[in-house]
Amino acid sequence: MTTILTFLQEVLIKTNTDIFGLLLHWYSKGPENENIKLAVRRNIKSKALTVLDLKTLEEDKLLCVTK
Helix (H, G, I), strand (E, B) or coil at 40: strand
φ/ψ of 58, rounded to 5, equals: -105, 155
Q: How far apart are CA 26 and CA 11, in angstroms?
A: 25
In Å, how far are 2, 34, 66 from 47, measured between CA atoms? 13, 34, 9
Average of per-residue pLDDT across 51-63? 93
pLDDT in tens, 5-32: 888 889 898 999 999 999 999 888 888 8
Q: What is the pTM of this model?
A: 0.80
What are the extents of the domains in the chain?
2-66
Which pLDDT score, from 0 to 100, does residue 56 have? Answer: 94
